[in-house]
Amino acid sequence: MTAHAAQVAAAPPVAETDRIALSLVVGAGIVSAFQVGKATLALQALRMDLDVALSAASWVLSAFALLGALLSVAVGAMSDRLQARPTVIAGLLLQAVGSALGAMAPSLASLLAARALEGLGFLAVTVAAPALVVAATTVATRRPAFAAWAMFMPLGMAMMMFAAPTLGALGWRGLWWANAALLAVYALVLGLGTRDLRPIAGQGNDRHWRHGLRVVLADRGAWWLAGQFCAYTAMFFALFGFLPTILEARLVVAGSAAGMLSAIAVLAGAAGCLAGGALLQRGLGTTQLLRGSFATLALCTIGILVLPLPGELAYLLCLLFSFVGAFIPVAIFDAAPRLARQPGTLGSVVGLATQGNNAGIVLGPLLAGSVAGTAGWHWVALPLALIALLAMGTAAVCRPRLEARR
């Protein structure tokens, strides 16, 4: 073991939660989520500017999920090797460079190359940041802290949706430049604000990170996290990926109104993250939370897509789907440190879970689109309900390990 690794392993836990550092880590997730939301917001504008078909332009949306489905474990292992803080800072800077290059892209091919760079940076932030949450918190405050961290995606995407009026003034290239500047500045602020955080034990160990990665890949607990995350995101994006279209049909509203209603529904997930953290903090078990959440998602899906409910009630079910569904990533992030066999493998564990998350993002819309296109939207509820049942049936797989380390 190197001298540095020995210092890392010997680092004592923090005496109290560093709220400033924790807020900065959550903020890093939010500004990274802007990079997901900006592509959805600007898709039509960049299609017109670059003169490309929708099928080709859709790769601008899919790039992040595809990279995540392929590389999350590798990025997680890199985070364990390099330590979490420099990985998050590097991820923000990679996204800044990618956004700047995208703003100057003369063609779709060059824009996709820039998006790939952004995607790598996004992965670096989202995979490594949970270790910074651990470093900034005590055991007593860790669950609400992970609930706050889990808000980054719904909050960031909703904020970008609400920023739609600025697109007309900035143009899509101006939006990319603005995000590049924001990310670069935020990397500096995060670096200064988290410089006193101690690395968690085992990260940065030159000799053992490969062994730790092998341990994670052989651990059914880490794969269980990936499966639960995949089930959730497949259900969420199968429904919410097409939500404006569904709402237009259900509520008979204009596209702009459907987009705003969709943003509000996504934002409900941020509130759900806080509620999920509160339930865990009050003693609700991870297994019970996951089972109850997936059961609720299945029932909401049936109500939204199958039952002849009034449009307003169907929209309320969309809000409930988003709110309760957000309990699931909170439970997963909370469980990850307890399922990590070694503290220094947390990045790899979260990386594998993130790989499942991104696989669901890729598979969910493909499943929903193919079923809806051939049989109608009401039949989409059947495979989504089956996914929920499978997730509920496997929710107790790691219960003994989770209960032993509560």
Q: 240: pLDDT confidence band, cut at 50, 70 and 90?
A: confident
pTM: 0.82
Average pLDDT estimate for 271-275: 93
Mean pLDDT (the chain, rounded): 85
- The pLDDT, as a whole number, for residue 341 is 77
Say what the pLDDT of residue 120 is. Answer: 92
Q: Is the dihedral of CA 29, 30, 35, 41 positive or negative?
A: positive
Evaluate whether 32 touches 152 at the Cβ level (below 8 Å): yes
Q: What is the pLDDT of residue 33?
A: 92
List pLDDT tens digits, range 4-25.
333 333 344 555 678 899 999 9
The Cα–Cα gap between 122 and 280 comes to 27
Least confident of 67-76, 110-119, 293-302, 369-378: 67-76
What average pLDDT score do residues 25-29 get? Answer: 96
Band the pLDDT of 2: cuts 50, 70, 90. very low
Mean pLDDT, to the nearest integer, of 164-193? 92
* Residues whose CB is less than 8 angstroms from the CB of residue 43 and which lie 6 or more positions away in sequence, other chains included: 57, 58, 60, 61
Q: Which two tokens stand for residue 208?
A: 């053992």
Q: Given this model, what pLDDT does residue 300 score?
A: 96
Helices 346-375 & 54-82 angle (0-180, nearest 10): 160
Domain 16-404 = CATH 1.20.1250.20: yes
Angle 201-278-272 from CA coordinates, rounded to 5°: 105
Residue 201's pLDDT is what? 54
pLDDT range class, residue 346, cuts 50, 70, 90: confident
List, for residues 77-101, the tens digit of each pLDDT value: 787 778 889 999 999 999 999 999 9
Question: What is the per-residue pLDDT across 98-117, written as a single tens digit (0 to 9) for each?
Answer: 999 999 999 999 999 999 99
DSSP for 95-139, please give it. Answer: HHHHHHHHHT-SSHHHHHHHHHHHHHHHHHHHHHHHHHHHHH--G
CA-wise closest residue to 391 among 301, 263, 278, 262: 301
Check residue 143 and give its pLDDT: 84
What are the CA-CA distances from residue 288 to residues 279, 285, 331, 394 (Å)? 10, 5, 10, 12
- Is pLDDT at 47 greater than 70 in this prediction? yes
DSSP codes of every residue in 137-151: --GGGHHHHHHHHHT
Question: Comparing 139-153, 199-213, 245-259, 317-331, which segment has the lowest mean pLDDT?
Answer: 199-213
Residue 1: per-residue pLDDT: 33
Give the pLDDT mean for 190-207. 73
**Dist CA 12 CA 355 (whole Å):** 31
